[in-house]
Amino acid sequence: MTSWTRDASAPAGETPALRAYAGLERQGLAELHGPLAFVEGVAGIAFHDHVDLIGSDGVTRAGRVLATTERGAVIEVFASTDGLQLARSRLAFRGGALQFGVGPELLGRVFDGLGRPRDGLPPPACAERRAVDGMPINPCRREYPRDFLQTGISAIDALNSVVLGQKIPIFTESGLGHDELAMQIIRQARAPGVEKFAIVFAALGLPRDTADRYLDDFRGSGARGHLIAFLNLAGDATAERLLTPRLALTAAEYLAFDAGYHVLVVLHDITNYGEALREIAAARGEMPSRKGYPGYLYSDLASLFERAGRIEGRPGSLTQIPVVTLPSGDLSHPIPDLTGYVTEGQIVLDRELARRGITPPIAILTSLSRLMSDGIGEGRTRGDHRDIARRLYAAVARVERARGLAAIIGADELTEEERTYLRFGERYERELLSQRGDEERSIGETLDRALRVLGELRP
């Protein structure tokens, strides 16, 4: 038997028509299927409305309306539903979207995947509460990104330069050192000439030991003071993984567009996010698309990545570097494929470079930053940056051609010019591409190294 009751804790005030059930509770569920709760006899609620599921154990589990019909609704629950009893469970409809409290005290804090403090400290004071889905940026108010973001990593800064407000993913495979690369970027990233710089890190389904390594690195590097971390671990509820990046981006938007910070957001791992989305879609019985992923995977990923950018009249920016693990190294897999459609380039890690001991193993010819040409040059990096990058790209292409020929006919049969490019390739990888994890290079030092390496090609 089901019934409606009034929640005395609900805020008073005007209630829009679509929020008619705000502050009301529903006793009893029709069905539970994994992270989904089904309720009947409900009308007037809206898509993505905040709902709390209270079990007979007294534990409150956050959720949101995933679908509505004339007969009832489907609730997505961001916690485990194991052990819940249908008749003794209650749904409390909050009458609005899921919100997260934002404010300057977020800096230096660590939260779990649902935005609850994970560092043993009390919840930070918030200036206001905002919907985690964010507000779309008016295309007419978007400002074109043009300011250089220095990562301190030569392979990125010289040849795949990132600009403030860009979204550029790291495509990787298991065992290629992407965790070390992400940690190095978080430690070293800065916007030259900018004082207000912050980093937001979101772990999506990472193993506990990997997340602990990140936290230890944050503490040891001194980055903790200007960083906010959200940790959804591999053992946490799958549905929670869909909420974590939205919490992180809500905090980042406040810092960027209200507090005037230039914010770098690192989302790791987007593949785990896509797997969670596929699991929820399967639980709903949706018709699968490519490799079982839902047909709306593209628009869902876009709802995350398009929150990056700059807004006209606002001093800050929001830059995204999502980490995408390629299943079986397949660049055509739906997650990296669709990520590439939304983002502005990619940084690709290569297994062959890793085998040769090159770290970070960034494959220059398959990597690309589409906004690079607008963020480098006189007044941003150095006047000769574009020329150096063009010469390096051309030379590396010749190196790959010479190596291919050497593999077929042998190095002794190559021309002197081709052997020169082989020597250049070894020096380029050893002196410019390869870099220690604790080594930070300014853009000036990187370009000077590149010029010295290019000197190998002089007649």
Provide the residue ranges of all domains of the chain, joining segments of one domain with +: 3-97, 100-375, 385-457
pLDDT of residue 24: 73
Q: What is the pLDDT of residue 3?
A: 37
453 within 8 A of 428, measured Cβ to Cβ: yes
CA distance 152 to 69: 52
Terminal C-alpha separation, the chain: 89
Closest by CA to 228, choosing from 269, 182, 189, 265, is: 265
Task: Mention the CATH class of domain 3-97.
Answer: mainly beta
Q: Name residues whose C-beta falls within 8 Å of residue 385's C-beta, 6 or more positions apart in sequence.
A: 158, 161, 376, 377, 443, 447
- DSSP state, residue 309: B
DSSP tag of 89: -
Percent helix, strand and coil across the chain, each to the nearest 5: 35, 25, 40
Tens digits of pLDDT across the chain (459 residues): 333 333 333 333 333 333 445 567 788 898 888 889 999 877 778 888 899 999 888 888 999 998 888 778 899 999 888 888 898 888 888 888 899 999 999 999 999 999 999 999 999 999 999 999 988 888 999 999 999 999 999 999 999 999 999 999 999 999 999 999 999 999 999 998 888 999 999 999 999 999 999 999 998 887 778 999 999 999 998 999 999 999 999 999 999 999 999 999 999 999 999 999 999 999 888 899 999 999 999 999 999 999 999 999 998 999 999 999 999 889 999 999 999 999 999 999 999 999 999 999 999 999 999 999 999 988 888 999 999 999 999 999 999 999 999 999 998 888 999 999 999 999 999 999 999 999 999 999 999 999 999 998 875
Q: Is the peptide bond before 269 cis (omega within 30 degrees of 0)?
A: yes
Same fold, 3-97 and 100-375: no
Q: Which of 28, 63, 69 is nearest to 48 (CA)?
A: 63
Among 3.30.40.10, 3.40.50.2300, 3.40.50.12240, 1.20.120.1200, name the CATH number for the domain at 100-375: 3.40.50.12240
List the structure tokens of 357.
């001991």
Residue of 162, 102, 96 lying closest to 320 (CA atoms): 162
